[in-house]
Amino acid sequence: MSGRIGIFGGSFDPIHLGHLVAAEQAREQLELQEVRFVPAARQPFKVEGHEADARHRAEMVRLAIADNPYFVLDLREIDRGGVSYTVDTLRELKAERPADELFLILGADAARDLGKWREAGELPRLATVAVVTRPGAAPPAGAGISLVISAPGIDVSATEIREAVRAGRSIRYLVPRAVEEYIAAHGLYRTGD
């Protein structure tokens, strides 16, 4: 059986409500059978690396998506190791599931940079590129972007969450409860290194 499969990649350092709302709106509006969350081993543009190690980032994704039957954790980039390139991930998925239609889900900031990604021209051949934007916001212009998903903006970033934890401020309601507890239990993001 063929399916419509969403791919949502990121650092997820940590996963937060902005990611979850974007993925759920993409799932509903594109009528996806599943959305695969793919934590990067290392993101090409984040030269300083990630703050939490890959296993922690993946575990937080697992906790955050556990109650959504459409959401799946895909560990292939972490298992592959090294710098993670979306083009490799899409090629692998395409080979594994030739009958499926792939949708690459991007936030507006990622969409702006898409032209700089490795083999950027190949991405729209492998997947339909869908960008999540706020209602009323101008859809980001860019080669290869073919769908726009309108979603309520949750104006939070992982950077802000890491900063809040470091400063001892609340992150309640910005991340799922289980993620908040995981961060506290493992002492993540308390220091800058």
> Which residues in this chain contact ligand ATP in the complex, by CB under 6 A?
10-13, 18-19, 22, 106-107, 109-110, 132, 154, 156-159
Q: For ligand ATP, give the closer residue by CB, 34 or 140.
A: 140
Cα(73)–Cα(174) distance, rounded to whole angstroms? 20
Q: How far is the CB of 6 from ligand ATP (least distance, A)?
A: 12
Sign of the dihedral through C-alpha 164, 55, 78, 106:
negative
CB of 45 to ligand ATP, least distance (A): 9
Nearer to ligand ATP, 12 or 71 (CB): 12
3-state secondary structure of 119: coil
CA distance 22 to 15: 12
Q: 11 vs 80, which CB is nearer to ligand ATP?
A: 11
CB of 175 to ligand ATP, least distance (A): 11
Pick 24 or 92: Cβ nearer ligand ATP: 24
Contacts of residue 8, Cβ cutoff 8 Å, sequence gap at least 6:
19, 22, 23, 26, 35, 36, 37, 38, 105
Q: At its nearest, how many Å lie between ligand ATP and the CB of residue 23? A: 8
